[in-house]
């Protein structure tokens, strides 16, 4: 079966305690202080305290996380390639 993931990405943060998002492709890593998500718009890093994933639907790409949020940061996706490949372009 094909994986259905939204190409748009929306985020909602309510009172710095409840986070919901769409367009999530993969949860790369998580612990109680940091969650790293691969989204349709790049990598999304969430920082906080007592973070825990309530729900992650891999078919729709929707996720819900609770905790105390300190930072939400988008970063560009890694371009890949080796160290020497980047030096000798």
Domain residue limits, the chain: 11-78
Angstrom distances, CA of residue 61 to CA of 2, 13, 24: 13, 17, 4
- Predicted model pTM: 0.77
Per-residue model confidence as pLDDT tens digits over 21-69: 999 999 999 999 999 999 988 899 999 999 999 999 999 999 999 999 9
- Distance CA(68)–CA(73), nearest Å, equals 15
Q: Domain 11-78 carries which CATH code?
A: 2.60.40.2000
């Amino acid at each position: 079966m094909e994986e259905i993931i939204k190409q748009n990405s929306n985020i909602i943060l309510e009172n710095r305690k409840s986070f919901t998002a769409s367009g999530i492709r993969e949860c790369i890593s998580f612990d109680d202080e940091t969650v790293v998500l691969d989204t349709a718009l790049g990598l999304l890093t969430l920082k906080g305290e007592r973070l825990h994933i309530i729900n992650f639907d891999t078919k729709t790409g929707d996720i819900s996380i609770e905790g105390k949020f300190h930072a939400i940061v988008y970063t560009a996706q890694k371009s890949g390639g080796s160290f020497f490949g980047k030096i000798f372009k």
